[in-house]
């Protein structure tokens, strides 16, 4: 039973916006909440920036939570605050799920693969699971704030980084460019073309005289066109041949020449950017200082006592008044049964569908509907931060079309440090499947060879050590994230969100923030609210 | 006399790129250096990323350096390593010049103005002088690296920050928007207009069939146009009405509607951005952790013993074999004479032209040619980081056309901290002159009132304390930086760069990196090399 919370009054006697919204949600549900948000001018805020405000108590009731990833730990943390007994069953010896960071000593054994032990230097690490927190993922940021996890900026957008396409058509094939060269020139030429067309009068049918002048004015500024003849001849933002400096030499420097428009078009290099980033890729992005697993550790510190580690779920049974989960101790092989009033299953669907569970055929069919993404990453420790020292690239992504590489991402921290660990590839789909067939040493060699083409003379020379993952080969994950076809989203997803009997599902797969920590957290918030509702109602029948 | 340095061999026996370039510079001068750089594919590198490699010794020779700003301290640091005795005369009781950070206890007294004592909380600060280091300012980054000054990213480009123009024409006047709304919509509409025109055939004279298809393809991607009808209908990157989330509600969220094209054009809001940033405004930018004065302090730690503080230069005389500088002790009023073999004058022109110096009339005329920029800044300590908590703006600049404000810049550090200090305005020219006539309390009120319009209910409520500066009213600075008209750059600048008799000038004003620390450092590198050359040559005559 949810009681309407009183609006806490601050010294001013005026409820804060958050108080008000909390009340709006409690009183009127999400429809009323959205209306309230609009009234308060919060159109762009996410619907959930804090856990649901629940009243009542869970005392004497037990929730069995399957999986100590972010979804499972979020639920355990919040439900236990309400008085529930939470029993979290985790197959691994550690919590965090996909939220892992590899550093010296980290062990990873892929299915049918070699065992890797990370031997990076002290202080070096790679976030081989989630690695970025967009500014609009308020739920994730709620916990970094609540738990005091120190953050730093993650550079997700660095125009000074290179773009290098091996398979580009035309003269720019295999040519290393700065991203700002491509952006400045493409936009400059496009703006020139449109400005001149407007000026010539051929578009007078579509654009009236006032808008025409305003638009030409905009295009001149946006594209750095000459005001006189509306021509693009390059701009300092695309870099100099010789940088400006002191005195007479270099003095003002020597401007650079733009690339030819036709060659740019032919290369399709302009396709790497858009007018603005997509929602989840926008600046600003943040990361925990020292590794993403700081978030997992912060949760684990608070709910660790509720977690039963090395407990692999074998069987799940919904009973008339509760649930019964059979687990195997992966150390001893001993089997045991864990009972509770309700079950929150926060393991990936890829794993859950291998568990012996008493779901209906409809539910089981739905469980099979999501594909799990093959995803590969590799961290490469470099003895020298040559990308900063030689190339002045401070974080961000080098883009390339080399098969399976996609991007080389440079670390956003420890600036000007002695060594650095970069992300050597971020690979999906068929490419990832191919890459994962290689041994760790072969993957490293592949990544180093690709990087060497972009940073000749430096990449291979400075390479020291690697740590790679193929998420689809990691036991208890079996993929990077759930991928929903349009049909599966329409048919299977609602069935799974609804849950069955005394079991609800949570995780990034139960959200539209797939693959993001925010999806796991917000899904947990949503489902724990429903569990609380169910267990607060007599009988708790579905 | 500059000797050709031997190329140091590394263990590999192969000279590094930097060794090679050092040799190239020493052997063949900057022309040869540039050719070498091109050959090594370093077109975009600045010409100077390290101090000049000089040989010989300055033992027994004294250089009098006027001003312990970054230029003066750079010269003292490098010349003393060569064996020179450096006597740095600094009018203030501390070094750093304009490189200052205000924190609790910082005192500032403007000419004819009230004395401010900063009373920010511990940990709060404002960089009221230089505040950003562009990635391409290799000279500044050379010293942060050499001195181990810890850096963090400075967010110079945050599309999620607001734009708010009080004086915009049309329906967007006084409307608060996210920058990504304006960018996405303007570019979307522009791309739509061009794509449709191309498709219609009216531009077939200008664009051939192959390019036409390639260009339409590009425009569809750049502007998020519908592939089917080439129309822009908004995109998720401009924000959602309701953000996506978990489960069925909010599920996929609710998309937002684009602004009308005509209103956007009328408002001219699109003018705030360009295809790419200008050279010195590009991401990535960096800042020292805890305040820009970490750079000044790092220099001072190394050259502090050479600095004579509270020594105001009164008179400068060039003698046949040296220089003679008369200084006044600002504490005691006592006058004294400091002698040396050469003088490097690293004080602003605005101050130097008030010194009794024996320059030629031509040189004195040149000294008067640069204008000094009126520049105002204000730091506002806020009791709560409402821009992060309520608005999800993590650093970057809020743009506004409110007179004298220009931007409100949000701090790029201490994320999710309890309090935060933002830059309340950054004002130039006539606006700055007007602002500076206000008392510190009136300036703060003006800034708070402007911010309150953009963050209603939060800005004023959280405002706690201010610290403001008008650089044109600061003794020993008299302006933010030197501004060169085209004519002054052509006529006066070369005269000043050349110097006179036994005096050379250094500082940001002796560079094309005006107002930047890199200008001061690179100018010092250049002039100290010339001093070394002159003093290494018999007689050292001009």
Q: Is B208 exposed, middle or buried (0-12, 13-18, 19+ CB in 10 A)?
A: exposed
- pLDDT tens-digit readout, B201-242: 999 999 999 999 999 999 999 999 999 999 999 999 999 999
Instruction: Answer for the pair B504, B533: CB distance below 8 angstroms, yes or no.
Output: no
Report the run of H or E that residue B12 belongs to, with start and end: none
Contact A48 B245 (CB under 8 A): yes
Give CA–CA dist A335/A32, Å, rounded.
48
Between CA A50 and CA A30 the distance in angstroms is 14
Q: Environment class of residue B528 by beta-carbon count within 10 Å: exposed (0-12), middle (13-18) or buried (19+)? A: buried
End-to-end C-alpha distance for chain A, whole angstroms = 15
Measure B96 CA to nearest chain A CA, in Å: 20
The CA distance from B178 to B238, in Å, is 8
Give the model confidence (pLDDT) of A465-520 as tens digits: 999 999 999 999 999 999 999 999 999 999 999 999 999 999 999 999 999 999 99
Q: Reply yes or no on whether the pLDDT at B18 is more than 70.
A: no
**Distance (Å, whole) CA A82 – CA A55:** 8
Instruction: Report the length, in residues, of chain B.
Output: 542
Average pLDDT over residues B155-184: 97
Q: Which has the closest alpha carbon to B314: B344, B365, B358?
A: B358
End-to-end CA distance of chain B: 15
Can you tell me the distance from the alpha carbon of A540 to that of B4, in angstroms, rounded to the nearest whole number? 87
Helices (H), B323-439: 349-352, 361-367, 386-389, 429-436
| 3-class state of residue B213 by DSSP | helix
Subunit contact A279:B237, Cβ cutoff 8 A: yes
Q: Is B265 close to A211, i.e. CB distance below 8 A?
A: yes
Type and span of the H or E element at A74? helix A70-81
Measured in angstroms, the CA of A427 and the nearest CA of chain B are apart by 22
Q: What are phi and psi of B128, to 5 degrees?
A: -90, -5
B451 token code pair: 């911010």
Q: What is the pLDDT of residue B45?
A: 41
Rg (Cα) of chain A, in Å, rounded? 27
Count of other CB atoms within 10 angstroms of residue A384: 16
- B217, exposed or middle or buried, with CB in 10 Å at 0-12, 13-18, 19+? middle
Q: Which residue of B has its CA nearest to A177?
A: B44
Find, in chain B, the residue whose alpha carbon is nearest to that of A138. B392
Question: Strand B311-319 and strand B356-357: pairing?
Answer: parallel
User: What pLDDT is recorded for position B280?
Assistant: 80
CA distance A85 to A71: 17
Quick one: how many helices (H) and strands (E) in chain B?
Answer: 15, 25
User: Is the Cβ–Cβ distance between B414 and B482 less than 8 Å?
Assistant: no
Q: What share of chain A is helix, strand, coil (3-state, %, to 5)?
A: 35, 20, 45
C-beta of residue A75 within 8 angstroms of C-beta of residue A86: yes
Does residue B114 register a pLDDT over 90?
no
Q: Which residues of A touch B183 (CB under 8 A)?
A: 275-276
Q: Is the pLDDT of residue A57 over 60?
A: yes
Query: What is the SS3 assignment for B419-443?
Result: CEEEEEEEEEHHHHHHHHCCCHHHH
> What is the number of other CB atoms lying within 10 angstroms of the CB of residue A148?
9
CB atoms B159 and A245 under 8 Å:
no
Of all residues in chain A, the one with the smallest CA distance to B232 is A275
Share of chain B above pLDDT 90, in %: 87
Q: Are strands B62-66 and B85-89 parallel, antiparallel or unpaired?
A: parallel
Rounded Cα distance between B532 and B61, Å, is: 10
* Binary contact (A270, B416; C-beta < 8 A): no
- Give me A416's structure tokens: 């000007």
- Angle between helix B138-146 and B517-536 (nearest 10): 80
Alpha-carbon distance B255 to nearest alpha carbon in chain A (angstroms): 10
Compute the nearest-CA separation of B185 from chain A (Å): 9
Nearest to A197 among B178, B203, B248 (CB): B203
Please name the residue of chain A whose CA is at the shortest distance from the CA of residue B251: A512
For residue A34, which residues of chain B lie inside 8 Å, CB to CB? 242
Question: B337 to chain A, minimum CA–CA distance in Å?
Answer: 30
Contacts of B184 in chain A (CB under 8 A): 275-276
How far does the CA of residue B299 sit from the closest CA of chain A (Å)? 18
> What single-letter DSSP state applies at residue A227?
T
User: A207, A245, A411: best mutation site toward chain B, by most B Cβ within 10 Å?
Assistant: A245
Quote the CA–CA distance of A92 and A12 in Å, as a whole number: 50
Interacting residues of A95 by C-beta distance below 8 A, sequence separation 6+:
A68, A69, A73, A88, A296, A299, A300, A303, A304, A307, A309
Instruction: List beta partners, residue A469.
Output: A377
Interface-testing mutation among B284, B289, B384, B388, with chain A (most A C-beta atoms within 10 A): B284
The verdict on a CB contact (< 8 Å) between A237 and B279 is yes
In the block, residue with structure tokens 């003698």 = B319
Residue from B247, B491, B515 whose CB has the most chain A CBs within 10 Å, to mutate = B247
Q: What pLDDT, on a 0 to 100 scale, did the predictor assign at position A125?
A: 98
* B281-286: average pLDDT: 85
Residue B237, CA atoms < 13 Å, CB-side half-sphere: 27
Burial class (CB in 10 A: 0-12, 13-18, 19+), A396: buried
Please tell me what DSSP assigns to residue A237.
Answer: G
Contact A160 B135 (CB under 8 A): yes
ipTM score above 0.85 = yes
Phi, psi of B225 (to 5 degrees): -85, 155
Alpha carbon of B331: minimum distance to chain A alpha carbons (Å): 35
Greatest alpha-carbon pair distance for chain A in Å reads 87
Partners of B423 in beta bridges: B379, B409
Q: In angstroms, rounded to a whole number, what is the distance separating the alpha carbons of residues A517 and B53?
A: 51
How far away is chain A from the Cα of B427, in angstroms, using its nearest Cα? 22
Query: Are B190 and A186 in contact (CB < 8 Å)?
Result: no
Interface test with A, best of B197, B246, B288, B295 (most A CBs within 10 A): B246
- Inter-chain residue contact A187 with B276, CB threshold 8 Å: yes
Give pTM, 2 decimals: 0.91
| Percent of chain B whose pLDDT exceeds 70 | 90
Backbone dihedral angles phi then psi of residue B161, each to the nearest 5 degrees: -70, 160
- Token pair, residue B70, equals 């970054």
What residues in B contact A46, CB-CB < 8 Å?
243, 245
Contact B284 A155 (CB under 8 A): yes
CB contacts < 8 A (A, B):
338
- Confidence (pLDDT) at B49: 82
**Which of A16, A276, A482 best tests the B interface by mutation, with the highest count of B CBs <10 A?**
A276
Nearest C-alpha in B relative to A16: B457
pLDDT band of residue B519 (cuts 50, 70, 90) is very high
Distance CA B240, CA B221 (A): 20
Nearest residue to A367 via CA among A535, A509, A219, A197: A509
Strand-pair category, A356-357 with A463-470 = unpaired
d(CA A90, CA B25): 63
Q: Is A392 close to B277, i.e. CB distance below 8 A?
A: no
Would you say A431 and A405 are in contact if contact means Cβ atoms under 8 Å apart?
Answer: no
As a whole number of angstroms, the distance between CA B79 and CA B295 comes to 18
Q: What is the pLDDT of residues B336-355, one digit of tens each?
A: 999 999 999 999 999 999 99
Q: Which of A194, A267, A284 to mutate to test the interface with B (most CBs of B within 10 A)?
A: A284
CB contact under 8 A, A512 and B253: yes
Query: What gap in Å lies between CA B127 and CA B98, rounded to an integer?
Result: 10
Tokens for B439, please give them: 């008392």
Are A223 and B513 a contacting pair at CB < 8 A?
no
- Distance, in Å, from the CA atom of B389 to the CA atom of B190, rounded to the nearest integer, reads 34
Closest CA to A262 of A198, A192, A189: A189
Q: Residue A164 belongs to what H/E stretch?
A: strand A162-164
Comparing CB atoms, the residue among B214, B251, B271 nearest residue A266 is: B214
Do B217 and A278 lie within an 8 Å CB cutoff? no
B405 vs A143: CA distance, rounded Å:
35
Which residue's structure tokens are 């018999």? B538
Largest CA distance in chain B: 87
Chain B closest CA to A373's CA: distance in Å?
Answer: 19
What is the tens place of the pLDDT at every residue in B370-382?
A: 999 999 999 999 9
The whole-number pLDDT of residue A538 equals 52
Q: What is the mean pLDDT of residues A206-231?
A: 97
The reply to whether residue B136 touches residue A392, judged by beta carbons under 8 angstroms, is: yes
Nearest chain B Cα distance for residue A43, angstroms: 5
pLDDT of A153-195, one tens digit each? Answer: 999 999 999 999 999 999 999 999 999 999 999 999 999 999 9
Give B79's pLDDT tier (boundaries 50, 70, 90): very high
Q: Return the half-sphere exposure (C-beta side, CA atoms, 13 A cut-off) of residue A393.
A: 30
Three-state SS for A130?
coil
Q: Do B282 and A222 touch (CB under 8 A)?
A: no
Tell me the per-residue pLDDT of A304-327, one tens digit each, with 9 for 90 and over: 999 999 999 999 999 999 999 999
What tokens were used for A425? 């590839």
Say yes or no to pLDDT of A529 above 70: yes
Considering only alpha carbons, which residue of chain B is nearest residue A148? B416
- Give A211's contacts in chain B (Cβ within 8 Å): 261-262, 265
For the CA atoms of A363, A369, A372, A373, what is the dihedral angle to 10 degrees? -150
Q: Choose among B144, B203, B207: nearest Cβ to A416.
A: B144
The residue in chain A having the minimum alpha-carbon distance to the alpha carbon of residue B169 is: A214
Does residue B524 contact residue B510 with C-beta atoms inside 8 Å? no
Contacts of B322 (CB under 8 A, 6+ apart): B339, B340, B341, B342, B502
SS (H, E, C) A182-221: HHHHHHHHHHHHHHHHHHHCCCCCCCCHHHHHHHHHHHHH
Strand partners, B470: B376
Distance between CA A310 and CA B331 in Å, rounded? 73
The pLDDT assigned to A188 comes to: 98
Identity of the residue in B193, B222, B241 whose CB atom sits nearest the CB atom of A206: B193
């Amino acid at each position: 039973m949810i009681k309407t919370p009183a609006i806490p009054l601050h010294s001013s006697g005026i409820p804060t916006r958050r108080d008000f919204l909390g009340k709006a949600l409690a009183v009127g549900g999400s429809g009323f909440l959205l209306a309230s948000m609009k009234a308060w001018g919060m159109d762009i805020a996410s619907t959930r920036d804090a856990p649901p405000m629940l009243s009542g108590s869970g005392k004497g009731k037990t929730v069995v939570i399957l999986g100590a990833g972010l979804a499972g730990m979020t639920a355990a943390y919040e439900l236990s605050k309400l008085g529930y007994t939470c029993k979290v069953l985790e197959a691994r010896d550690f919590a965090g799920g996909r939220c892992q960071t590899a550093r010296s000593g980290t062990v990873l054994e892929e299915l049918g693969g070699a065992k890797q032990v990370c031997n990076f230097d002290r202080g070096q690490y790679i976030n081989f699971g989630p690695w970025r927190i967009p500014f609009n993922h308020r739920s994730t940021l709620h916990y970094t704030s609540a738990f005091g996890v120190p953050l730093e900026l993650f550079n997700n957008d660095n125009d000074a980084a290179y773009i290098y396409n091996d398979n580009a058509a035309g003269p720019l094939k295999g040519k290393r460019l700065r991203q700002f060269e491509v952006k400045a020139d493409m936009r400059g030429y496009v703006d020139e073309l449109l400005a001149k067309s407007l000026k010539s009068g051929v578009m007078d049918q579509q654009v009236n005289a006032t808008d025409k002048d305003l638009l030409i004015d905009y295009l001149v500024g946006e594209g750095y066109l000459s005001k006189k003849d509306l021509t693009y001849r390059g701009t300092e933002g695309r870099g100099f041949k010789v940088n400006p400096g002191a005195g007479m030499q270099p003095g003002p420097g020597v401007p650079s020449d733009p690339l030819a428009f036709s060659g740019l078009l032919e290369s399709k290099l302009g396709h790497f950017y858009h007018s603005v980033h997509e929602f989840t890729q926008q600046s600003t992005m943040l990361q925990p200082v020292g590794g993403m697993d700081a978030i997992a550790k912060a949760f684990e510190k608070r709910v660790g006592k509720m977690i039963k580690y090395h407990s692999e779920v074998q069987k799940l049974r919904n009973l008339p008044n509760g649930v019964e989960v059979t687990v195997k101790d992966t150390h001893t092989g001993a089997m045991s049964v864990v009972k509770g009033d309700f079950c929150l299953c926060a393991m990936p669907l890829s794993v859950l569908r291998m568990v012996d569970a008493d779901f209906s055929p409809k539910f089981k069919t739905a469980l099979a509907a999501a594909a799990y993404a093959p995803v590969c990453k590799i961290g490469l420790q470099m003895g020298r931060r040559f990308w900063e020292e030689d190339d002045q690239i401070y974080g961000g992504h080098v883009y390339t079309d080399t098969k399976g590489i996609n991007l080389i991402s440079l670390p956003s921290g420890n600036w000007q440090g002695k060594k650095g660990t970069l992300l050597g590839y971020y690979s999906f789909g068929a490419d990832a499947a191919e890459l994962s067939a290689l041994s760790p040493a072969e993957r490293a060699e592949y990544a180093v060879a690709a990087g060497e083409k972009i940073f000749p003379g430096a990449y291979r020379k400075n390479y020291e050590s690697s740590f790679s993952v193929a998420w689809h080969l990691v036991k208890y994950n079996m993929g990077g994230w759930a991928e929903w076809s349009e049909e599966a989203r329409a048919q299977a997803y609602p069935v799974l969100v609804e849950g069955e009997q005394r079991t609800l599902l949570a995780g990034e797969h139960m959200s539209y923030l797939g693959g993001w920590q925010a999806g796991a957290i917000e899904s947990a918030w949503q489902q724990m609210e429903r569990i609380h509702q169910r267990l607060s109602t007599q009988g708790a029948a579905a």
